[in-house]
Amino acid sequence: MSLPEFFSDRVTAEIRQQMEGVMALTGQLARQRLTPDGEACVAGVTEAAETVLRVMSAGLDLKSVHSRGVSLDLEPVRLREVMDELQDRWQPRAAAGGVTLLVAYDGDPDAAAMTDRRRLLQVFDGFIGEAVAAQARGAVEATLRAHADDAGGIRLEGRVRGPRDTGWDDMNLDARIMSIEARLGLEVALGAMLARSILDGMEGELRKEANAGASDTVAFEIRLAPVAEPVDQSPTEDAGRAAHILVVDDNATNRMVAQSLVEMFDCTSEAAEDGEEAVEAARSGRFDLILMDIKMPRMDGVAATRAIRALGGPIAKTPIIALTANADPEDAEGYLAAGMNGVVEKPMKPEHLLQALQNALAPPDEAAAA
């Protein structure tokens, strides 16, 4: 990696981390008693921070897809739940724009397939985002149909119905994306390009169908492998419930972000500002888990972890998870070798932190199986 690329990635990571800090702070403010004007200001700041994070995430993902290809993390996914999640994430944004969003699933309610849930959602996100942004009023419809094909697999057909786009057939992809950016903004254009790139990487097919009236339907098809066994995807958030967690970080914003996420998972927390404070706090034995930053003054996270492991007794067995922007495999191996139980990359994503908490707090037999 060249020096400009290194600093570009570091700047991007820093901006994302600070935006997540802004969202944590506005979340704290939103729980206070504010005037109507104050509530409107907090909501505006939150919306702006969320938009920045979405744009940056889409831009980074698009860069990765174009340079390395589409990476797929295949897992058993219940298809109906994909549409439920899609409705939950888009309904508020559509309503804010005066658009009615109709989401439907057509198929066996228990049907599951081997796919990448995040990538499938990103494909829908791109087409729904474009339709919602272009629809001044009225409705946008998103449907997913699942059918068994002749080869024993599952054929998915996704459809998004929105306002008519008369330039769709007359432009190449680059020209179309530039047109979307000019009319609907950068976020929509990034999502549209990412959706098409992912669809290509999944060997999907894309077409447009004209409807009666002033609407078009964008349809795509993807073929997936079936799941042999029934899929149990019941929520597992209770695995970390009631745990008391020590958050260790020398940056106040980072501490607040981590504590806000911990509270989101119904855990309680305390904070320490460096490794020395962490070791002293750990001596009390009142923590079920420690979230440990790596780079800190006085005593860094690796040294603090070794000191805690040297305390002996039950305290020395307290699960410790590294929080770091340096989560390369070589770095992660070093943290685990120092006695840590897991690594979560900064800026933290809630689902990554939740998974790490569940793994670290699971009973020994479940942890070994995982």
Reported as a single tens digit per residue, the pLDDT across 174-189 is 777 788 888 878 888 8
Q: Identify the burial level of 262 via C-beta atoms within 10 angstroms of its C-beta, where 0-12 means exposed, 13-18 middle and 19 or more buried.
A: buried
Q: Which two tokens stand for residue 10?
A: 């570091």
Q: Which two tokens stand for residue 346?
A: 């900064």
Please give the DSSP secondary-structure letter assigned to residue 324. E
One-letter amino acid for residue 28 of the chain: Q
User: Beta 112-115 vs 244-248: how paired, if at all?
Assistant: unpaired
CATH of domain 75-226: 3.30.565.10
Q: pLDDT band at residue 257, thresholds of 50, 70 and 90?
A: confident
Query: Token match 């970080």: residue?
Result: 249
pLDDT, tens digit, for every residue of 101-119? 999 998 888 888 889 999 9
pLDDT confidence of residue 103:
92
User: Beta 205-210 vs 320-324: how paired, if at all?
Assistant: unpaired
Max mean pLDDT range (198-207, 240-249, 319-328): 198-207
- 82 has a pLDDT exceeding 80: yes
* DSSP annotation string for 253-264: HHHHHHHHHHHH
Q: pLDDT band at residue 348, thresholds of 50, 70 and 90?
A: confident
Q: Where are the domains of the chain?
A: 3-67, 75-226, 237-362
Among the four given CATH numbers 3.30.470.10, 3.40.50.2300, 3.40.50.10310, 2.80.10.50, the one describing domain 237-362: 3.40.50.2300
Domain 75-226 shares a fold with domain 237-362 = no
pLDDT, tens digit, for every residue of 36-74? 898 899 888 888 888 888 888 888 888 888 888 888 888
Mean pLDDT of the chain: 83
pLDDT confidence of residue 105:
92
Q: pLDDT band at residue 323, thresholds of 50, 70 and 90?
A: very high
Q: Quick one: residue 203, left, alpha or beta (phi over 0 = left, psi -120 to 50 = alpha)? A: left
Q: Is the dihedral of CA 180, 181, 187, 191 positive or negative?
A: positive
pLDDT confidence of residue 242:
67
216/298 Cα distance (integer angstroms): 62
Q: pLDDT band at residue 228, thresholds of 50, 70 and 90?
A: low
Q: Mean pLDDT throughout 219-239?
A: 63
Residues present in the chain in total? 370
Question: Rounded to two decimals, what is the model's pTM?
Answer: 0.59
Q: Residue 108, CB half-sphere, CA atoms under 13 Å: how many?
A: 11
User: Beta 268-272 vs 289-293: how paired, if at all?
Assistant: unpaired
* DSSP annotation string for 169-227: TTS-HHHHHHHHHHHH-HHHHHHHHHHHHHHHHTT-EEEEEE-SSSEEEEEEEEEEEE-
One-letter amino acid for residue 267 of the chain: C
pLDDT, tens digit, for every residue of 17-41? 788 888 888 888 888 888 989 889 9
- 290 has a pLDDT exceeding 90: yes
Q: Mean pLDDT throughout 289-299?
A: 93
Q: Helix crossing, 329-337 with 301-309: angle to 10°?
A: 30
Query: Token match 């500002």: residue?
Result: 273
Q: Mean pLDDT throughout 242-246?
A: 87
197/201 Cα distance (integer angstroms): 6
